[in-house]
Amino acid sequence: MSIVVERKDRVVVITIDRQRSLNALDPESMAELRDAIDAFNRDDDAWVAVLTGAGDKAFCSGADIGTTKTASLSAAEILFSNDAEAKAERYVETMDFGDLKVWKPVIAAVNGYALGGGFELALWCDIRIAASNASLGLPEVRIGSIPAIGGIRRLMNAVSSSNAMYALLSGRHIGADEALRIGLVSEVVNSERLLDRALEMATEIAHCAPLAVRAAKMLSIRGRDLAIEHAIELEQTIWAMLKSTNDRLEGRQAFLEKRAPRFEGR
C-alpha cells in the first residue's frame, strides 16, 4: 500500500508513502489516495484530516510520469461518459476529488517538494503548513502542459493575481519563506515539528462543533462566486439550519456553565 491511514481520536492522518519516487503518484496510488479521502469523508467519527508525505524530501512531487499511461479513451469520452472505464480514467488519472464534496477540514503538512499535481493537491486542502525545506510549484508549462485539476483557480484564490501569475507562467519553485510571505501557507516550522504542529491545528479544529465547521467551509467555498447579497442569503439559510442542532444548544449551555462543550455532530 502506498497510502497509509492512521486515526488519532477525531483526526485522520493520510500519508503518501512512495519515497523512492519522491512520493509521486502512479495510477494505483492515485486510486488509493482517492479511496482514503472518500473513507475519511464517509466516517462520521473522523472530523479533520491531515495529508502529508512520508520522509522529509517530498509531500508529493506530482504524477509519476514513468508509470502513467496514455489515455485509452478519447478526451470527450473521459470528460462526458459515465461508464465505469471513463470514470476510472477521469478519477485515477486526474486525482479528481471534486465529486466527493469533502466539507470536512483537510490540512496539508507540506514536507519538501510539492510540485505539479502534488502542489494542486496541497491547494485542494483548506489549510497548508510547510516545513522549512518545502518547495512548491506548478512546473507544467516547462514541459508543454498546464495544471488541470483545479490548481490554476485555487492558486489565483490563494494569493494575489501577480504572485499567482508569476508562479504559474514561469513554472518556478516557491520556497517556504516566500510561501509564507505571500500567504500560500499559514505557518513554516522545522521539519521535525511539522506533523506535530499539523496535528495540533487539526485537534484545535476537532474541538469545535463539526457541523458548524463543515458549514463554514462550504460557505467559504460556495460564497466566492456569489454576489454579496446572495452569499449573505446563503449564510442566513445555513445559520437557520444549524440553529436547532444539538451541538449549538450544547455549545450555548457549555458557555453559560463555563465548561468545555461535548460536541457530537448532531
- 187 lies in the same domain as 220: no
- 194 lies in the same domain as 228: no
Asked if residue 14 lies in contact with residue 36, where contact means CB atoms within 8 angstroms, the answer is yes
* Residue 140: active-site member: yes
Q: What is the pLDDT of residue 99?
A: 74
DSSP code at position 101: -
| Cα distance between residue 82 and residue 17, in whole Å | 31
How does pLDDT run along the chain (266 residues), one tens digit per residue?
A: 799 999 999 999 999 999 999 999 988 899 899 999 999 999 999 999 999 999 999 999 988 776 655 556 666 766 666 665 555 555 445 566 767 889 999 999 999 999 999 999 999 999 999 999 999 999 999 999 998 888 999 999 999 999 999 999 999 999 999 999 999 999 999 999 999 999 999 999 999 999 999 999 999 999 998 999 999 999 999 999 999 999 999 999 999 999 999 999 89
Long-range contacts from 78-86, C-beta under 8 angstroms, 24+ separation: none
Which residue in the list 28, 32, 120, 235 is annotated as catalytic?
Answer: 120
Is 171 a domain residue?
A: yes
- 166 lies in the same domain as 226: no
Grid coordinates 494505483 are at which residue?
A: 28
CATH number at residue 81: 3.90.226.10
- 96 lies in the same domain as 169: yes
Structural domains counted in the chain: 2
Asked if residue 158 lies in contact with residue 134, where contact means CB atoms within 8 angstroms, the answer is no
* Residue 77: active-site member: no
- 192 lies in the same domain as 221: no
Cell output for 110: 507540506
Which pLDDT tens digit goes with each residue over 172-213?
999 999 999 999 999 999 999 999 999 999 999 999 999 999
- Residue whose C-alpha is closest to residue 91's, from 104, 78, 72, 74: 78
Is 265 a domain residue?
A: no
- Domain containing residue 38: 3-206
User: Considering the entire predicted model, what is its pTM?
Assistant: 0.90
Is 76 a domain residue?
A: yes
CATH number at residue 221: 1.10.12
Which residue in the list 32, 140, 233, 235 is annotated as catalytic?
Answer: 140
Cell output for 159: 494569493
- 220 lies in the same domain as 160: no
Q: What is the pLDDT of residue 82?
A: 65
- 31 lies in the same domain as 161: yes
